[in-house]
Chains A and B, each alone.
Chain A
Amino acid sequence: MPPRIPDWLKALSPGAWVMAVLALMSSGVILLSPPSPRKGMPFWIFSKIHEDTYGPIVSSWNGANPRRPVDLQLIQFYALERRLLSGFMAGTPVADLFETERMVASRSFAGPLDRVGFVDLTDRLTSEGLMEQFNAPTFSLWTSRGRIFGLPHDVHPVLMAYRADLVEAAGIDMAQIETWDDFLRVLRPLMQDFDGDGRVDRYLLSGWSTNGPFTEMLLLQGGGTLFDARERPCFDLDVNVELVAKMTSWFAGPDRMCTEAPEFTGSGHKMRLDGVVIASLIPDWMAGQWKRELPGLSGKIKLMPLPAWTKGGRRTSVWGGTMLGIARTTPDFEAAWAFAKTLYLSPALADALFEGAGIVTPVKAHWSRPIFHRPDPYFSGQPMGALYIAQAPSVPARVASPYSKLAIEKLTSVLVALQEYAQNARQFRPESLQPEARRLLQGAQAEMLRQIGRNRFLAP
């Protein structure tokens, strides 16, 4: 007589029972499995070049600190941004150390200071004398309401790279150029219509109104700014009005000197190779990028300080920026801080970053290292590092606002609207554009105030 099957077993078919048991078992395994132990202090970075250059220093640190090793993790830029901000917002796990770009870091400064996800490093930087060791203006980007939340990775001064072969063939002496007006006057003969269609085929400068980082960089060079020292928007400053009107005269009209040669695309690179643009404004990291991506320009270009907006004015600006921050949630701040200093103060790293990415270190003591003063065949034998370093102390300070991205978008909108106005009104002289520039900047200012006004921690 076969054994009697209990009634409760009949509640489900054999197949359903198998599924239920498998579901229960797998859930049990997941619940009971301990989370994988941390290998050390996770350190999130977003750049492959950084990973390559940090590798030896991390290995050396891990050898010397076997109980507090660093776990270097390369994460795609946007993935890192999401994980970092989600972690700060919702308390999901984040690394102990991060490298992050300016727009990402500044967005974590939106709330009260004691809730910022990064450790406030101000007191440590002061008490350990690090403020003096780093290039001073570089800290501004990692500062919110007077407190510093990151160690600067770079300076990113901007120089002008120009087609020396074309300029010299035309018998032009670039040493005559001190201001942007000089630049336009001296190089004007190079703007030419080669095919006789009535359109210019060669422009003097790569630049366009919707390139936010470019126009912000020029604004900063001329002493303009979108936020004042108290982190309040200040779009309608007189200096901004003048600079925006002047820039528009470069972008619009039949005699405009600028054209769009995108920095990161094949078409932009081709325009540079073909000599469609004579000059480009490039920070150190972009110089490194050109060396990797545009070998065809080797020996044909030279670097020089930016022409100033006015005689005796600033000859450089700043573009981009990365910092190293430490999460508040780190279980061992001292170890993370010690590693951060070891890494960023390392002379070997300064050399490797310059060699691999063209990036100049913000640590002033390393600026005399031979690598920065070597003649560079790519830049027609000029010492690229020394040229950037010469301008590093003069880079303008920037304000870290969670609304920076929004502000740059508003600046772009102003420039586009002004360009449209110029074209419709057939007005291309800076002086005649200023009233409209002022009106547009005042509108942008009002919009920014309205938006920031919602944030009671940052409201003006």
Chain B
Amino acid sequence: MKHRHPVLPRASIRAFPAWTPWLFLTPFLVVFTLFTLWPLTRSLTLSFQQTFGPGASRYVGLGNFQFLLQDPLFWKATRNTLIFTVASVALQVPLALGLALLLNRPGLRGRAFLRLVFFSPSLVGLVFVGMLFALVFEKRTGLLNTLLHTVIPAFDPDFGWLHSSILTSLVLAALWLYVGLNMVYFLAALQNVPADLIEAASIDGATAWQRFRHIVLPEIKPVAGLVVLLSIVGSFQLFELPWVLLDNSSGPDNGGLTLVMYLYQTGFLTGDLGYASAIGWVITLVLVTLALLHRRIMRRSE
């Protein structure tokens, strides 16, 4: 049987005037201009101004960026963000891949249920997770300290996770939240690995590790790259989790201060919107650079 593809008559294509696409684009352009382009432009101009509370500002050129380079708090926030990013990516990606490999095993019973169990933390919001883990990490009565003190009686139940080990606490909370989501990405990629390739390699005597190393890994590489990039971007945007976990603060000795949190504190707690805009633009530049780098690496490997 011959398939007949519907063909739009030439006359009807010609009936649309040249401005028709613009008509359809107009709502988007209006919203984009109002809520994205204008704030971006405004924040760029603000980053060259010093602001002092309501209605007072002056032009300082690159002054905010110069101040930023010598600002120990900015570097502390950068250091914390980088440590969190590296630790998160280093833990989350292998763990998510491991879970995905386990769930992808043929003949596994209860796969859908397990997938739901691992994925469900990412269905709740960051604020909820922050509040939940604030209880988990509480001194004396918190779940973690109670458990550790029961298992290891020498462990001090008054150990302050949110005082002494803030970044560890943040990484653990983020791990619980995001590992399931990343697992789903990997699972989707694993399910697209051609089964015949794996089968052929098995017949040729390849071990499980060799099959993973030479077939599975190259096949899922683009998804792995995407997961890494998304994790890095997400880590650089970290704000709600530490903000809630540390009770609207950056923790003792700014141990939980992240770049976005510093931006927020500067702009909205001390009213220095110009400096906050400068921080925002630096974060943007870092993320754009990372994205370009990632693209380049992925292209090279292809």
Q: Which of B27, B53, B163 touches A111 (beta carbons < 8 Å)?
A: B53
Are A402 and B270 in contact (CB-based, < 8 A)? yes
Beyond A413-B253, A454-B272, is A10–B15 a contact (Cβ under 8 Å)?
yes
Q: Which of B67, B141, B268 touches A270 (beta carbons < 8 Å)?
A: B141
Are A115 and B56 in contact (CB-based, < 8 A)? yes
The verdict on A316 contacting chain B, using a C-beta distance below 8 Å, is no
Are B275 and A107 in contact (CB-based, < 8 A)? no
Are B52 and A455 in contact (CB-based, < 8 A)? yes
Please, what's the 1-or-0 string for A10-24, where 1 marks a CB less than 8 Å from any CB in chain B?
111000000010010
Are B141 and A111 in contact (CB-based, < 8 A)? no
Beyond A11-B16, A110-B270, A260-B140, is A209–B52 a contact (Cβ under 8 Å)?
no
Determine the distance from Cα of A198 to Cα of B256 in the docked complex, in whole angstroms. 32
- Please indicate the chain B residues that have their CB under 8 angstroms from the CB of A271 in the complex: 140-141
The verdict on B85 contacting chain A, using a C-beta distance below 8 Å, is no
Determine the distance from Cα of A402 to Cα of B51 in the docked complex, in whole angstroms. 13
Please, what's the 1-or-0 string for A80-117, where 1 marks a CB less than 8 Å from any CB in chain B?
00000100110000000000000000011111100111
B162 to chain A, nearest CB (A): 8
A103 to chain B, nearest CB (A): 9
The verdict on A132 contacting chain B, using a C-beta distance below 8 Å, is no
Q: Which of B16, B139, B249, B271 touches A107 (beta carbons < 8 Å)?
A: B271
Q: Which of B20, B163, B265 touches A12 (beta carbons < 8 Å)?
A: B20
Are A267 and B138 in contact (CB-based, < 8 A)? yes
Are B252 and A110 in contact (CB-based, < 8 A)? no
The verdict on B6 contacting chain A, using a C-beta distance below 8 Å, is no
Are A111 and B140 in contact (CB-based, < 8 A)? no
Please, what's the 1-or-0 string for B218-259, where 1 marks a CB less than 8 Å from any CB in chain A?
000000000000000000000000000000011111100000
Q: Which of B54, B72, B153 touches A117 (beta carbons < 8 Å)?
A: B54
A318 to chain B, nearest CB (A): 21
- Please indicate the chain A residues that have their CB under 8 angstroms from the CB of B254 in the complex: 409, 413
- Count of A-B contacts with CB under 8 A? 114
Are A402 and B271 in contact (CB-based, < 8 A)? yes
Q: Which of B20, B50, B164 touches A454 (beta carbons < 8 Å)?
A: B50
Residues 446-460 of A contacting B (Cβ, < 8 Å): 447, 451, 454-458
Determine the distance from Cα of A405 to Cα of B269 in the docked complex, in whole angstroms. 8
The verdict on B107 contacting chain A, using a C-beta distance below 8 Å, is no
Beyond A209-B252, A413-B253, A454-B275, is A260–B139 a contact (Cβ under 8 Å)?
yes
A8 to chain B, nearest CB (A): 9
The verdict on A168 contacting chain B, using a C-beta distance below 8 Å, is no
Determine the distance from Cα of A199 to Cα of B139 in the docked complex, in whole angstroms. 14
The verdict on B9 contacting chain A, using a C-beta distance below 8 Å, is no
The verdict on B17 contacting chain A, using a C-beta distance below 8 Å, is yes
The verdict on B55 contacting chain A, using a C-beta distance below 8 Å, is yes
A120 to chain B, nearest CB (A): 14
Q: Which of B52, B53, B270 touches A451 (beta carbons < 8 Å)?
A: B270
Complex: chain B residue closest to A459, CB-CB: B52
The verdict on B147 contacting chain A, using a C-beta distance below 8 Å, is no
Complex: chain A residue closest to B73, CB-CB: A447
Are A111 and B271 in contact (CB-based, < 8 A)? yes
Are A85 and B268 in contact (CB-based, < 8 A)? yes
Beyond A259-B158, A260-B158, A447-B72, is A107–B269 a contact (Cβ under 8 Å)?
yes
Determine the distance from Cα of A197 to Cα of B152 in the docked complex, in whole angstroms. 12
Are B158 and A116 in contact (CB-based, < 8 A)? no
Determine the distance from Cα of A412 to Cα of B255 in the docked complex, in whole angstroms. 12
- Please indicate the chain B residues that have their CB under 8 angstroms from the CB of A108 in the complex: 53-54
Beyond A89-B55, A267-B138, A454-B50, is A417–B271 a contact (Cβ under 8 Å)?
no
User: What 14 new A-B contacts, CB under 8 Å, besides A11-B17, A115-B53?
Assistant: A10-B15, A11-B15, A88-B54, A107-B53, A108-B53, A199-B156, A259-B158, A260-B160, A262-B138, A265-B138, A270-B141, A271-B140, A402-B271, A456-B50
**Which residues in A have some Cβ–Cβ distance to B below 8 Å?**
10-12, 20, 23, 85, 88-89, 107-112, 115-117, 197, 199, 209-210, 212, 259-260, 262, 265, 267, 270-271, 402-403, 405-406, 409, 412-413, 415-417, 420, 447, 451, 454-458
- 21 inter-chain pairs at a CB distance below 8 angstroms, sorted by A residue, are A11-B16, A12-B16, A23-B27, A85-B268, A107-B53, A107-B270, A108-B54, A111-B56, A115-B53, A115-B54, A210-B252, A260-B160, A267-B135, A267-B138, A402-B270, A406-B269, A417-B252, A454-B67, A454-B272, A456-B52, A456-B58
